[in-house]
Amino acid sequence: MKKNFLLIVLFIFFHNNYLLSEDFNPEKVDVRQSEYKLKKLKKSITEQIAKEKDVRSEKNKILLEIEDIEKKIYDIQEEINLLKPELTRVEVDFLQTQQDLNKNLDKLDNIKINIEGRLRAFQGLKTIGLFNLFFSSRTFTELFTRNIYLKYLLDHDNQLKNEFKKMAQALAKKKIDLENKKNIMESRQKELNELYKTFEQSREDKEKYWENLDEAGEEYSRMIVELKESAFQLEDIIKKYKVKDIKPPEISMPELSIKESDVFFEGSSADFEAKKGKLSLPVAGAIMIKNPVKGSRGIIIEAITGTEIRSSTDGKVYYLGNHPGYGNLIIIDHGGGYRILVAQSSKFFVQLGQALTEGELIGFSAGGAWAKEGVYVEIQKDNKPLDAKAWFDLRGFKVK
């Protein structure tokens, strides 16, 4: 289950990045290329809808499996609840039988003692004593009665001994049967407890898998919305530029006026200058060097709205705010009078004075007067703009 979820997440990640990496210039549209991209977007939307449907189907399947497991857990709990009082009754019966058996054995011992006493008494009379016992009778009837009485005593003792012996044997057998039953019931209870734990663990695993599927489903839904928005924007651009080719207006570079900040990065100019031509672009996208901003020495990086903005190198947030002409603007101080300016962001996640490391996420791109979708980037030395294209590593990026 975890493997399936990982595959889903990887698919979403790579597929989403692939689509978002598709670059186009909304100011200079190749209609045929845009139509081809629109076709791919619509195909991707259909595929993602199918994937989202599969996730929903899998979620419903897991819910049914969880319900089945819960029913089994309930049945096991019911059997355990019924077994507990029955086992208690067997244990009580076993203890009572043990007590009865002990009492019976005690009585049997007493009977044996009485019989042995009588036998010793008769043995003490010996032959002459017995002769005197019988022939001292004055009549034949008395003699006969004494004989019968003596025989009755002996028969009674023997019968009583046999009855208690049978009773002791029956109690001993009952004790063994109860002990066997008790062992069987205890074994069943242990087995049920183990099954209960197994089903509980299985339920927890499936619930966790369902939560992972739910997250994947939400990710698919979010991506479908984004793809539909991109397709809608692309359709709008294609319709507009099918009518006529509109040349974007030239925009003058606005004056950048900010209050001096007391936030500076502790780094030397030599450290920053050593990175010339090696700095990472804050946003991944096509680069416009000859941009429509008159008087600019910066670059415009085209990127779909919501693309990540990251710090090009270590520094501190020197300025953060909405500036006329620049839009949402951040200036990062890199020490030695060097600063990097990034304008036209949709949102920043950092605060004034915050220390940044190279590659750290600081916000998302948006767009503005200089680029419909993208950001404006400039490098300054002591508040004077430098030729930005000479400082960044542009290998692997499309340069216009």
Q: How confident is the model at residue 11 (pLDDT cuts 50, 70, 90)?
A: very low
Q: Which residues contact 85 (CB under 8 A, 6 or more apart)?
A: none
How confident is the prediction for the chain on average, in pLDDT?
A: 78
Query: By percentage, how much of the chain surpasses pLDDT 90?
Result: 23
pLDDT over 70 at 197, yes or no: yes
**pLDDT band at residue 143, thresholds of 50, 70 and 90?**
low
Q: How confident is the model at residue 13 (pLDDT cuts 50, 70, 90)?
A: very low
Could you tell me the residue ranges of all domains in the chain? 1-247, 251-390
Contacts of 370 (CB under 8 A, 6+ apart): 251, 291, 292, 293, 300, 343, 344, 376
Model confidence over 293-316: pLDDT tens digits? Answer: 677 888 999 999 989 999 999 999
Banded pLDDT at 17 (limits 50, 70, 90): very low
Q: Is 251-390 in CATH node 2.90.10.10?
A: no
What is the pLDDT at residue 90? Answer: 75
Top-confidence residue, 51 or 282: 282
* pLDDT higher than 50, residue 6: no
CATH architecture of 1-247: Orthogonal Bundle (1.10)
Taking the whole predicted model, whether its pTM rises above 0.85 is answered as no
- Kindly report, residue by residue over 51-64, the tens digit of the pLDDT: 888 888 888 898 88
pLDDT digits (tens, 9 = 90+) for 68-114: 888 988 888 888 888 888 878 877 877 887 787 677 777 666 766 76
Quick: pLDDT tens for 333-389. Answer: 999 999 999 999 988 999 999 999 999 999 999 988 777 889 999 999 998 999 999
